[in-house]
Amino acid sequence: MSREQRGPNEKLGTVLALAGISNAGLARRVNDLGAQRGLTLRYDKTSVARWVSKGMVPQGAAPHLIAAAIGQKLGRPVPLHEIGLADADPAPEVGLAFPRDVGAAVKSATELYRLDLAGRRTGGGIWQSLAGSFAVSAYATPASRWLITPADSSVARDASHDVPRDVAHADDGGAPLKVGHSDVLKLREAAEDARRWDSKYGGGDWRSSMVPECLRVEAAPLLLGSYSDEVGRALFGASAELTRLAGWMAFDTGQQEAAQRYYIQALRLARAAADVPLGGYVLASMSLQATYRGFGDEGVDLAQAALERNRGLATARTMSFFRLVEARAHARAHDAQAAGAALRAAEGWLERSRDGDNDPTWLGFYSYDRFAADAAECYRDLKAPRQVRRFTEQALSRPTEEFVRSHGLRLVVSAVAELESGNLDAACEQGTRALEVAGRISSARTTEYVKDLLHRLEPYGDEPRVVELRERARPLLMAPA
């Protein structure tokens, strides 16, 4: 898609001539750069001709890719204004940076919070233009920098001279906010509420959608305020939890590009908080996303990074969860031996955990039921239906209203196991139960699981039970995303 400027873009034409790039050459370079970021672009010399002679402005990431392509040829950065594209959409790089400096980290996170409200909540903006642009390689630098330095030395901030009055202010005429523990407590309470909403209603429910606004309205002014090192650590930790939750909810609703940016900023905030287990939890979330997207090897790397830094620091239950996430990635990479070893290690850590352990609040969801549910998914990926059935029965033994989405996902996995064991009736029965749950929540991930089940049932498409299940699923599949 493009929009039209007034008259030819003479700046772009001049720079192309200076760089010695033909129209066809620029199109090829832009397409190649897009492919490196997970984008499928099909620009050609005619597209470039329209950009130059008619002043058409390509949408989404294209203007920034054009600048990058020309910059590579010239051997220097090329700003958008130099090529006449200064009014293009916000840079897709927002939220992908993992700054070394704490001040820059605050700027990076708060920029993302503001961008989300301007984009996603108006039904367009950067999230729409970057649909499908998830690139697992974007996690490489954040993960390595966190591994090298998982905690900043100091995060105290005096905002009296550098914070705009309209961004971080109190009620006393615009003075910068002086952040205290009570402010941090409010963010932690918001995170706890959001976790419950997400588990019960799905990431797409209106309750969950309030998290990005909470980040913009509540967290951003606090991060840009003044605070001591002690309060700052707590503030960064609470903000990291909320930011990771925003990423998880975006992941659950299929907005992979938004989730990736939230995760990267959450990891950076966790480093500022000097909270290594929380940083590991963010890496585990990154791992699950990479695994879900089909990048099993990268998922293993991210999970093992979480494990490595948390040895001797995290509780037994926390280490169990990290090993479980590692197992999920090994299974997606079709490494049965490594997946089995990670599952045994996860179960061993879980058995060593005790109720009196100082487990983090964000791990409250993790129990043996959750372990069994993920173990079942591991064996589903490894095509071992007997093991899937065994662990799914354990996972479903205590259904709860608190984790509705998880219960629905487990029912779908159970249906797949029954189908692969040759039990069509049982598969359809479990599929029907899963649809009942899916109809009560807003979760693109749950819908994808249902679609996968229906795809597996296609060879039995004429069976009345399958026809009935497909009809039951129609409202869910036709619902707007």
Read off the CATH number of the domain in which 419 is found. Answer: 1.25.40
Q: What is the pLDDT of residue 263?
A: 97
Residue after which a domain boundary falls, among 51, 83, 115: 83
pLDDT digits (tens, 9 = 90+) for 437-450: 888 877 888 889 99
Domain assignment present for 223 = no
- Please say whether the beta carbons of 389 and 421 come within 8 A: yes
pLDDT band at 68 (very low <50, low <70, confident <90, very high): confident
pLDDT band at 168 (very low <50, low <70, confident <90, very high): very low
What share of the chain has pLDDT > 70, as a percent?
Answer: 86
Domain assignment present for 240 = no
Domain assignment present for 195 = no
Domain assignment present for 416 = yes
Domain assignment present for 229 = no
Handedness of CA 255, 258, 263, 269 (dihedral sign): negative
| Burial of residue 397 (number of CB atoms within 10 Å: 0-12, 13-18, 19+) | exposed
Domain assignment present for 94 = no
C-alpha 406/C-alpha 413 separation (Å) is 11
The answer, yes or no, to whether residue 474 has pLDDT greater than 70, is yes
Q: Report DSSP letters for 345-388, one per residue.
A: HHHHHHHH--TTS---GGGTT-SHHHHHHHHHHHHHHTT-HHHH
Rounded average pLDDT over 247-260: 88
Number of domains, the chain: 2
Beta bridge partners of 226: 178
The answer, yes or no, to whether residue 367 has pLDDT greater than 50, is yes
Q: Tell which wins on pLDDT, 72 or 230.
A: 230
Residue after which a domain boundary falls, among 14, 49, 83: 83
Domain assignment present for 409 = yes
* CATH number of the domain to which 39 belongs: 1.10.260
CA-to-CA dists, residue 7 to 51, 89, 239, 337, 421, angstroms: 10, 19, 46, 63, 65
The answer, yes or no, to whether residue 2 has pLDDT greater than 60, is no
Residue in the block written with tokens 């006393």: 172
The answer, yes or no, to whether residue 169 has pLDDT greater than 60, is no
Residue in the block written with tokens 């649909």: 131
Domain assignment present for 447 = yes
- Please say whether the beta carbons of 432 and 471 come within 8 A: no
Q: What is the pLDDT of residue 27?
A: 94
Q: What is the pLDDT of residue 22?
A: 95
Q: Which domain holds residue 65?
A: 2-83
The answer, yes or no, to whether residue 149 has pLDDT greater than 90, is yes
The answer, yes or no, to whether residue 65 has pLDDT greater than 90, is no
CA proximity to 412, closest of 459, 365, 377, 460: 377
Q: What is the pTM of this model?
A: 0.79
Residue after which a domain boundary falls, among 66, 83, 100: 83
- Please say whether the beta carbons of 107 and 96 come within 8 A: no
Q: Tell which wins on pLDDT, 64 or 118.
A: 64
